[in-house]
Chain A
């Protein structure tokens, strides 16, 4: 029973490059959340997606960040023109029904380093 998969686990980019982070939810889960963990801080909500729909992107920076969860394939978090401040661990979580009481199952995270 595979859990949430994220790749790559570590990603190094130079300032101005693009970063693409992938998340495959638990099989059968159609609800995905992305969180960002900055150094010395807790996780901060970024975006909530259902298949083919963005439900809540209130935690996403307005520029350079985008997310998608297509009908087929993994969810993608895309950061264009990365800056040093984007260096963080990005976690994806999935849940079966997306409800308030659901347990969210977290992936191991992608640690992004911007040089």
Chain B
């Protein structure tokens, strides 16, 4: 069975500071990894995904993530955050034991950007 752990439930940061949201996963099969963002009272929106190839993945809104197979991690980073980045962020893995996109999500990290 797969699992996803987001190590920080809340991350406060000042505007224009860098941020890293941590995600670790466990799986006995190949995985595909995703980061989604959820703004208040909205659905989830895809930020980026890792399927194969380069371990550094660039997404929307200036976010990027690095896949590290040896550490089973997929941390999300942004060099300079804006107030509008305040939201909840979810890391997810696709179940490699199936042929379809059954996602397992982490518990979420609430990013709060202060002026």
- Residues of A at the B interface (CB closer than 8 Å) are 4, 6, 31, 33, 35, 41-45, 48, 55-56, 91, 93, 95, 98-109
Distance in angstroms between the alpha carbons of A46 and B4 in the assembled complex: 17
Judge whether A101 and B103 touch: CB under 8 Å: no
For the complex, would chain A's binding face be called helix, strand, loop or mixed by DSSP majority? strand
Judge whether B51 and A56 touch: CB under 8 Å: no
| B45 contacts chain A at the CB level, 8 A cutoff | yes
- Residues of B at the A interface (CB closer than 8 Å) are 4, 6, 32, 36, 41-46, 49, 51, 90, 92, 94-96, 98-108
A95 surroundings in chain B (CB, below 8 A): 101
Q: Return 23 A-B CB contacts under 8 Å, by A number.
A: A31-B101, A33-B103, A35-B103, A41-B107, A41-B108, A42-B6, A42-B90, A42-B106, A42-B107, A43-B103, A48-B100, A91-B43, A91-B44, A93-B44, A100-B96, A100-B100, A100-B101, A101-B32, A101-B94, A105-B46, A108-B41, A108-B43, A109-B43
How many pairs, one residue from A and one from B, have CB atoms within 8 Å of each other in the complex? 73
